[in-house]
Chain A
């Protein structure tokens, strides 16, 4: 007979409990850290920046536990903090990383060929996301890498769900055009 599993507390319950129970915040962190990091990684294109911004996001979240009003999901709240940190980071960086230089800042080669391939593929996508319209790129990043629902993306961006669906649809069309030439070039190489 299979063991009966205890029902897991919701994110909102964990967040409320975290005000008095440090372990609850740790549990919340474990649930969300991968998605927050992934969103920041595909926005910055840099592992170090993504790690730094992820740290900042959770530290601010810890300090602002009592500011969560239950409007929207905890995950959307966390990504909202991450987004503010990202915007601040970009302002301070003043976009010193030019598009042309992205090829030169690939992460250090890893041991596994698969990891290298993933890294290269990530760079392609990061570059393509920087070329397409920012609002479409933002919607795609939040939806695919931050794993927000369409309704949550809409709330985060201040748009209607229908508008977000169109942003993502057209953004994917744009991405396909941006990614296709690279693929063709690679295939055409001797």
Chain B
């Protein structure tokens, strides 16, 4: 990364051709560094490289003198030990009869970046559901959002997850145009430069700094439950606990950043107007991708579009601030 505009980005193709003498000097200097780092006797070098050796010796001495604060090291070790124990238990649990509680506790104990990535992913499904659902089911989904996305992990029961709660007041807002979203968003909104299945933007929202964009196929009506793509962008941390199963995660990368992909979705077991339990169905036609890039937490979910990881990554890596695809 170039922090100084006046200096070149990469000198590997710009520096003068390597002379055989310079290559030999570089090799001997490298051997000297290796010996010093291994606390072995280092060969004395001649005058050609003495100046570089002096700098190298200074760097080695400086490196040896810099130690992390021992309190910090001890605290981090304690935290990691706890997480390692939780992770180990979660792996054992996932191999057994599905004690999901361990997964949830494991997720809760993660430190900020990954926790908020996954925690935020929980909100994706709920936002999408709220955007797509009809009035009859919206109240029930709000119940899920209220009870699951913001519940204390200590009160979460083991599988199945029971959800019965009073309804939340509130009316759905009208979808905004991209121009309106850009005007209201607290950051530069990036949109896909590539979309599969002839998708088009059909609406979105800006709510407390969280931007949601929804895309539907051009053909076919836009209705609750119809195939759709949701992109959720957030600058802030989300305090919701994990709603995605750890054992379904596939680690990948978006522009070199760690990203998590999942396939499948929660299936609700309904009774009247309430959803009583949720179970993860890996065969469900839904794809999830979440990552953090340029300070923005990204969530991408495709529902009913038949998309896999390759297409999700292609969409993710096509995001840019540009005139939208219409």
A33 and B22 within 8 A (CB): no
Q: A168-B29, A176-B54 are in contact. Are A20 and B68 (CB under 8 A)?
A: no
> Does B137 touch A at the CB level, under 8 Å?
no
Report chain A residues within 8 Å CB of B317.
Answer: none
Judge whether B80 and A134 touch: CB under 8 Å: no
- A-B contacts at CB below 8 angstroms, number: 179
- Least CB distance from B178 to A in Å reads 24
The interface residues of chain A lying within 8 Å CB-to-CB of B85 are 22
Whether A168 and B30, one on each chain, are in contact in the complex, defined by CB atoms closer than 8 angstroms, is yes
Could you tell me if A26 and B30 are in contact, using CB atoms closer than 8 angstroms?
Answer: no
A contact patch SS: helix
Interface-located stretch among A5-13, A57-65, A70-78 = A57-65
Q: Is A79 an interface residue (CB 8 A)?
A: no
- The residue among B7, B8, B10, B292 with the most chain A CB atoms within 10 A of its own CB is B7
Q: Is the CB of B113 within 8 A of A56?
A: yes
Interface check A101, CB cutoff 8 A: no
Which B residues are CB-close (under 8 A) to A106? none
Mark contacts of A52-96 with chain B using CB atoms, 8 A cut-off: 1 yes-contact digit, 0 otherwise.
001110111011100100000000000000001001101110010
Q: How far is the CA of A53 from the CA of B251 in the complex (A)?
A: 19
Interface residues of B in 256-279 (CB under 8 A from A): 256-258
Q: Pick the residue among A29, A84, A88, A132 that contacts B80 (CB under 8 A).
A: A29
Please determine whether A51 and B72 come into contact, CB atoms closer than 8 angstroms. Answer: yes
In the bound complex, CA of A50 to CA of B55 (Å): 23
Q: List residues of chain A with CB within 8 A of the CB of B251.
A: 63-64, 67
Complex interface: chain B residues within 8 A of A162 (CB): 23, 26
Q: What B residues does A16 contact at CB under 8 A?
A: none
Whether A170 touches B15, Cβ cut-off 8 Å, given contacts A54-B76, A62-B83, A179-B55, is yes
B226 at the interface (CB under 8 A from A): no
Complex interface: chain A residues within 8 A of B114 (CB): 59-60, 63
Q: Is the Cβ of B29 less than 8 Å from the Cβ of A88? A: no
How far does the alpha carbon of A21 sit from the alpha carbon of B257 in the complex, in Å? 28
Closest to A134 in B: B2
Chain B residues, Cβ within 8 Å of A95: 3
Q: A20-B88, A22-B88, A56-B111 are in contact. Are A91 and B294 (CB under 8 A)?
A: yes
> How far, in angstroms, from A59 to B37 measured CA to CA in the complex?
28
* Contact, CB under 8 Å: B25 / A169: yes
Q: Let me know if B63 is at the binding interface, CB within 8 A.
A: yes
In the complex, whether B44 has a CB less than 8 A from a CB of chain A is no
Q: Is the interface of B mostly helix, strand, loop or mixed?
A: helix
Q: Which of B297-315 contact A (CB under 8 A)?
A: none
Chain A hits for B198, CB < 8 A? none
Q: Which residues of A contact B256 (CB under 8 A)?
A: 84, 87
Are B55 and A176 in contact (CB-based, < 8 A)? yes
B57 to chain A, nearest CB (A): 10
Known: A131-B7, A134-B2. A165 touches B27 (CB 8 A): yes
A62 and B87 within 8 A (CB):
yes
Which residues on A sit within 8 Å (CB–CB) of B7? 131-134
**In chain B, residues 1-37, which have Cβ atoms closer than 8 Å to a Cβ of chain A?**
1-4, 7-12, 15, 18, 22-23, 25-27, 29-30, 33-34, 37
Task: Give Cα A124–Cα B51 distance, bound, in whole angstroms.
Answer: 18
| Min CB–CB distance A59 → chain B (angstroms) | 5
Name which residue of chain B comes closest to A19, CB basis: B91
Of the candidates A122, A143, A169, which one forms a contact with B62 in the assembled complex, judged by CB atoms under 8 Å apart?
Answer: A122
A165 touches B26 (CB 8 A): yes
**Taking CB as reference atom, which chain B residue is nearest A178?**
B55
Known: A131-B4, A166-B26. A88 touches B52 (CB 8 A): no
Instruction: Say yes or no: is B182 at the interface (Cβ < 8 Å to chain A).
Output: no
Interface mask (B107-130 → A, CB under 8 Å = 1, otherwise 0): 000110110000000000000000
Instruction: Show the binding face of B for A, using Cβ within 8 Å.
Output: 1-4, 7-12, 15, 18, 22-23, 25-27, 29-30, 33-34, 37, 49, 51-52, 54-56, 58-60, 62-63, 65-69, 72-73, 76-77, 79-81, 83-85, 87-88, 91-92, 110-111, 113-114, 251, 256-258, 292-295
> Which A residues form the contact surface with B (CB < 8 A)?
18-23, 25-26, 29-30, 33-34, 37-38, 41-42, 47, 50-51, 54-56, 58-60, 62-64, 67, 84, 87-88, 90-92, 95, 99, 118, 121-122, 125, 130-136, 140, 143-145, 147, 149-150, 159, 162-163, 165-170, 172-173, 175-176, 179
The 7 closest A-B pairs by CB, nearest first: A22-B84, A169-B26, A92-B295, A172-B52, A165-B26, A133-B11, A37-B68
Beyond A99-B3, A140-B59, list 18 extra A-B contacts (CB 8 Å): A33-B76, A50-B68, A56-B113, A59-B80, A84-B256, A88-B257, A88-B292, A131-B7, A133-B8, A133-B11, A134-B7, A144-B63, A149-B34, A150-B34, A165-B29, A170-B11, A172-B56, A176-B54
